[in-house]
Structure 1
């Protein structure tokens, strides 16, 4: 080597499941790390590189597939978290900053885990610590009692209106939008969703509409302004109710819309039309029948209602990480359970639509807004620290991935009370 020549840089060895003596190559690794790589060996149609804290490189899947995902593990504690707590531990490790996807492509990383059955395999390993943690969480947040439902809702929705305003659209709608054109903004998608629901309900001037889980009042405001109805909104969130009332007053609709802080089981009266958007996921399995019976009670003899809810085709109703950090007490229904309980309450299904791809696009907008306003969110107070920001970003990204690649769907079920469905409008709603 001459003085002007630089020494050759030794190429980093990449270890793969197809490497000679793969089992021997990973046998010396700590148990948790070895377990994770065994899970990743399920990846066949994907392209994942893992860099461990010592700088060793492992590859799973194929190198000719895009996107090329790079999981960098910074803290070796990640492996033991996954070994002990599965997907819950993986999410907690991300919150702590122990790992990242180097291109910030969490959606495709988590999607790869869905498609390769990594999540399902990991969740089959229920250790004693995980079982104890999950059972404790479930017992703490069972939604059968009204006080527990109130606590669970306030945990998520009373984070502060300022926070939600920084990633939702101007209508403050926190549920799946409805995309008609690829160029639709998130606000257009939400207004189109409201219009779709109004058409399905065949709203008419002078009719009364009750909205269970009304959020910040977006649905009722749209229906009152565009269809001339009167409305009552029900929420358990003090923060939502306060801002909803302000928005209604600013629109000059206080004589048409009222907001009540109450549990759905406490509501009295009857209404021509019923709607519930994105609330049923908080009801709890043992309260499905109660919700449907109350819905029937709130409708006039010939009333019509629409239930908009996330549903699942899987057996897991809510992930352990989501149940602990995002939606305590949540329980996602299967479609057959919805139709069965509607039937049990003598409510007949008239129409069902699956908006799954629309929710993936909605979440994409929310995550973009969240990222754009991340620094502003951090300035809201001590609650919104780096751990919180990583937690919420993971929630938005993992939710989008679940709707694109997992078992989550979102259904709109139109139903009616009474023997006859009075068809005075076309079946095409959009």
Structure 2
């Protein structure tokens, strides 16, 4: 291992047990020896140089290209070891702070998300084969943070709870018009239409997601209530009773926050309610992880609340409620990662080994960031008047409970009739 890389790792890793075998076969050990061993093998001099110069990008790329492997441990255990050492807000040495400062300074150049560029960015990720997403998402294809009311919830149960939670915050009424900005595979829009007899317009920039969601509308016979379009939200001019946006704001880019909220303010009726669900960060403004920006979400950015709230204030919208979901996304990503790895051979048959390694690093890295770094999810309820929703949060709880009871009743109706147990006499109608 080259001297510079060894010095960097020595300075960072003080806790834990890390062993690295370099391309020349030599092995170095770092940390205090506590905890499980994580053993990396850097196979090539090229990877070693790249990791020395730009570790946040090069470690993931070396893993993708099979220039780095784990002899003991895995991506998640390695990242846990690193993050436990640097703390939730990142490393504090002068060199790292200087590099981070430059990344933050230039981040706006990476987020010039015009309508055309936004569409290209979406196609890079969301227009992958739908079969890939079916390998790890829940049955409703929810690709955003679930809501774990109980730690023993299945992924399907937690995603359903998320939809209830969002619907309750919207204070929906039958017959209202609803706009879903970034409508994904259509699950939330269909849920709102079915449970509240609402008319839903969902907009997306993904042709793959639009095709799936449109077919789901037809299959469920909701053509008169739900419609999905391939359309940029900035081109809309209609007004809506309710607006919801889940997992889309991360793609807006810090340059366009004022545009986003100004547009939402014009699209929302005077007595309307909006719910924004987005990944955020506990710490101050930062820059997108280099690996994620290059290989997973080009143009994406995770905001601090200090960047979001000023844009809301200037738009004329009022914040009615803010909730921070802390470890919910870490648990969601754990389910996704485990399901993806369990179906890894199927994913490899659709794409290739490089793709599988890229997505293993992405899912593991994201889970690690939510579990041991400063990532979280926020839900912000917005209105145009301060008397639009009740003054206490009881109406949310009441709505969630009513929806849960309705869902339970539907499951009981849809459940197949149980067959009589063997050896018992069937009771006749006359008895």
TM-score, normalization by structure 2:
0.85
Quote the offset at 1:195 in angstroms.
Answer: 0.3
State which of 13, 34, 46 in structure 2 corresponds to 1:77: 46
How far the C-alpha of 1:36 sits from its partner, in A, is: 4.1
Q: Which residue of 2 aligns with 1:230?
A: 199
Instruction: Output the TM-score relative to the length of structure 1.
Output: 0.85
User: 1:151 aligns to what?
Assistant: 120
Q: 1:411 maps to which residue? A: 378
Q: Which residue of 1 aligns with 2:292?
A: 322
Q: 1:304 aligns with which of 273, 276, 288?
A: 273
SS of the counterpart of 1:38?
helix
CA distance in 1, matches of 2:65, 2:81: 22
Per the alignment, do residues 182 and 207 of structure 1 end up closer, same or farther by CA in structure 2, a change over 3 Å counting?
same
Render the CA deviation track for 1:147-190: whole Å, top value 9, x for unaligned: 01111111111012121111111100100000112221111111
2:27 and 2:329 mapped to 1: Cα distance?
Answer: 36
Which residue of the partner structure matches residue 426 of structure 1?
394
Number of equivalent positions: 390
Residue 55 (str. 1) matches residue 22 (str. 2):
no
Runs of 4+ in 1 over 3 A off after TM superposition: 118-127, 141-144, 427-430
The corresponding residue for 1:364 is 334
Q: Distance in 2 between matches of 1:385 and 1:124?
A: 37
Q: CA deviation at 1:379?
A: 1.6
CA distance in 2, matches of 1:315, 1:105: 30
User: How large is the Cα RMSD of the aligned pairs?
Assistant: 2.3
**Secondary structure of 2:41 counterpart:** strand
What's the CA shift for 1:400? 0.2
**1:165 maps to which residue?**
134
**Offset at residue 256 of structure 1 (A):** 0.7
Per-residue deviation at 1:85? 2.3
User: Is structure 2 residue 181 aligned with structure 1 residue 212?
Assistant: yes
Structure 1 residue 123 displacement after superposition: 5.1
Instruction: Work out whether 1:175 is the aligned partner of 2:144.
Output: yes
Deviations 1:376-416 (A, max 9, x none): 11222xxx221111111100000000000112111011111
Contact 2:126 2:209 in 1 (8 A): yes
Stretches of structure 2 that go unaligned for 5 or more consecutive residues are 401-431
CA distance in 2, matches of 1:42, 1:86: 12
Taking the aligned partners of 1:284 and 1:315, their CA distance within structure 2 comes to 12
Partner residue in 2 for 1:95: 64
Would the aligned equivalents of 2:265 and 2:315 in 1 still touch at CA under 8 Å? yes
Where does residue 294 of structure 1 map in the other structure? Answer: 263
Q: Of 186, 192, 207, which aligns to 2:161? A: 192
* Runs (5+) with no aligned partner, structure 1: 1-28
Partner of 2:15: 45
- Residue 343 of structure 1: how far off its partner (Å): 1.2
Q: Quick one: distance in 2 between partners of 1:143 and 1:260? A: 23
Contact 2:250–2:302 (CA under 8 A) maintained in structure 1? yes
Instruction: Tell me the distance in 1 between the aligned counterparts of 2:29 and 2:9.
Output: 12
Distance 2:61 2:108 in 1: 18
**Counterpart Cα distance in 2 of 1:305 and 1:216:** 20
Q: 1:267 to 1:76 in 2, by over 3 A?
A: same
Q: Which residue of 1 aligns with 2:355?
A: 388
